[in-house]
Each structure stands twice: as C-alpha cells, then as structure tokens.
A = this chain, B = another copy of it.
C-alpha cells in the first residue's frame, strides 16, 4: 500500500465502444494500464449491417454484442454505461451524466451520426439509420405500412403507403434498397394474398450522377442494373428539398406521395465534437496531427468518424476500416508515450470496398481485383460473417442467412412497438 501512487498504472479513458474504441482497448490488453471505456449503450454495434435489421433480415442481437462480454477476460478494462457531456482538457477530466472521471490519456472515438445537412423537415419526418433503435423503428414502420395498405380502400392513399424512398446512393442506401426489394418481392408477396404488388414502389434517390461514387465504373453500372432488375427505381441527379411525412418534394417541383423516407445521404461526427471546442474540419470532425493527436494535446487522440485525417489530399472516409486501423496506431502511440519512445505516423491502407445488393448479387473492389454477381456475394457473406465479433453470433447469423437463402424467408418481421 505504501507506494500505491508510485506504481499506479496510467489511466486511459476511451469514449465510444464502436469499432475504434473496442479496437483501442483490445490493443492495450497486455499492457500495464487501466482502461475506462465509456458508451451510452451497453453493446458494441456492427453498424454496417444495421440495414439488415431495418429490412427484417437479422435481429437486434445478431449485430449488437455486450461490451462487457467482449472484455470478459481483459481485466484492465472497466466499462461505464454513461453519456459524455464534456471534457476539461486542461485538468484532464471527462464529465459524464453519471459523474466525472480523470484521465492520463484520452481516446475520442465517439462515432458518427446522421447528417441531414440542415433539412429540418427530413430530420423530423424521415428515418435515420445510425442506431439500433432507428433500425427497429424502420422495420416496424415498413411492416405497419403493409398492414395498413392491406385494408386501405383509397387507391392514392394505398400507393403512398406502399411507396418507400431511400435517399443516398452510397453503400447504406444501395444495400437498403436491395434488401427492401427482396423483403417485399420474395417474402411479403407470398403473404399478402389480396394485394396488388404493382402498387409497390421502391425508389433510390441520389443527388450526384453516380451510385457508389468510389467504385470503378464497371461495378457502378452492374449495381444500377441489379437494382433495376430488383424493381428499384434509381433516380440520379435528384435533390430532395422537403419532406412533411406524407409528401416528398424534389428540386424542380416533382412531389412524391410517401409515408416512408429513409435518409442515408450523409454522416457527420457525433455532436460531442461540437461541444468540445476543438478545431474542426467539415462534418464536425476534429483536426488531428499525423500521430492522431489533437494539436497541442499530446495525451488526447481522436480516431474514426470523430477525426478528419487527410491522406492524398482528401479526408479519409467515415468507415469502419479507417477507425480500426487508427485504433491500432493510437494504442501504439499511447504505449510509446508511456515508455518515452518515438510516435508512429498514421497511414491508411485501403482494404477495398464491398456491398451487397441482395441474393447472389454484390460488388467487390479490392486493389486491382473487382467482381460482381454471385462470387462477389459469396465473398461479401464470408467476410461479414467472419467480422461479426463472436463465434455464437456468427453461428446464429450463418443459420439465418442460409435459411433465408434456401427458402426466401425472413422471420424477424415482428412489429415490436405499438404506434405511439
């Protein structure tokens, strides 16, 4: 007890249990440090598959895993279920809704949130898809639209109930549109015996002239073709200006009657980044140096969606592989600071892009390798099952996907909350 203060290990506080936060804590597993991991949810969320929850392909706990279970055998991690409201960088204290906590090193990995680009009507009446609750809300809402349409006598109302708009031509938008098409044209069609499925309309709206802007042209074209084959109306160069919950207005005057608009057109960093009064770039992201530190705060690292890191003249995208690679370097640099060693500069190695558009259809682009169709879908499935964090979730997800594949079934189609 005598030399307690002398031997106290450095305290590392990590804000956020997403890909970046979890990986940082893991990378410090075998080191003499004390780690406090803070998140407002008690689970780590596999965000790239949120759209599968929204389209009733997977259930909530297939893509969410308790943080404490992840660190069951890593005793140097203490988890706090709390929301961070501020950081006092001068005194090295994090303020949470449940109290305060001091740190020696801080890692801000607070993730992203939906960016409505100031369109308040969309924020109010559309659906974001960044949290588990939002995905479940979309699932419940879509299923409820079908139940209402099944007994709706007014044809215009019925068509509006059956019009589903997804805004945003990136991976989330494309994958959602594809999965929604499969849900409707392979599953629902068998169960709404008296419904005219010609009244159903799935629309994917993108403001630019491309889907998957970062993919090679060949794969972009294959994506559009696949979506059209799946009865998805692809609308490029179309800008949404307003949505009141019943009618969506487009630039140029067109009005689409619809009760469902999913907004997958933008991401920005967590609102915490605004609160912190750090120097910010676009999308709220904090500006970091080449070692991922805040300028003039060597003990504070910012990674993932929270940080803007310029490489090759452009900021790195807000995707999981960036967060994971940055986590490794941030953890390494914290160890170096503790030992007085030289820091490592961060460089992103591009691992490629992949997205699935439905059964047997995906696009994969890695370095010079590109492919689409069944092979791409098989690669996508394999990679995503492997990535899901623990064996059991993998086994359950595998059973579900195989079952869906064999019999075109979706069992998660339950409406868990009554209309408010």
Contacts and interface: CB of A to CB of B under 8 A. Distances in A.
Contacts of A393: 411
A236 interface: no
Contact of A392 (B40, B143, B411): B411
B192 A411 contact: no
A59 B60 CA distance: 8
Interface stretch (A109-117, A289-297, A396-404): A396-404
A75 interface: yes
A96 to B, nearest CB: 10
B40 A414 contact: no
Main secondary structure on A side of the interface with B = mixed
A40 B419 CA distance: 11
Contact of A151 (B43, B80, B400, B416): B80
Interface in A137-195: 143-144, 147, 150-151, 190-194
Given A40-B418, A191-B69, A392-B411, A147 B59 contact: no
Contacts of A132: 414, 416
B417 A61 contact: no
Contacts of A65: 411, 414
A409 interface: yes
Interface residues of A, number: 51
A68 B415 contact: no
B144 A69 contact: no
Interface string A43-71: 10000000000000001110011101101
Given A41-B415, A42-B414, A399-B399, A190 B72 contact: yes
Given A59-B59, A61-B411, A147-B42, A191 B68 contact: yes
A43 B415 contact: yes
A78 interface: yes
A27 interface: no
Contacts of A413: 42-43, 66, 68-69
Contact of A400 (B79, B80, B396): B396
A119 interface: no
A43 to B, nearest CB: 4
A65 B194 CA distance: 21
Nearest to A407: B392
A412 interface: yes
A81 interface: yes
A122 to B, nearest CB: 23
B191 A72 contact: yes
A395 interface: yes
B396 A392 contact: no
Contacts of A396: 396, 399-400
A69 B136 CA distance: 19
Nearest to A40: B418
Contacts of A367: none
A66 B151 contact: no
Given A396-B400, A409-B392, A147 B60 contact: no
Contacts of A412: 61
B60 A416 contact: yes
Nearest to A193: B75
Interface in A70-128: 71-72, 75, 78-81, 98-99
A113 to B, nearest CB: 15
Interface in A372-407: 390, 392-393, 395-396, 399-400, 403
B194 A69 contact: no
A133 interface: yes
A190 B78 CA distance: 13
A80 B144 CA distance: 11
Given A59-B60, A60-B60, A99 B151 contact: yes
10 contacts: A42-B143, A43-B413, A59-B59, A61-B414, A69-B413, A72-B190, A75-B193, A81-B144, A392-B409, A395-B403
Closest 5 CB pairs of A and B: A68-B191, A81-B147, A43-B414, A66-B413, A64-B414
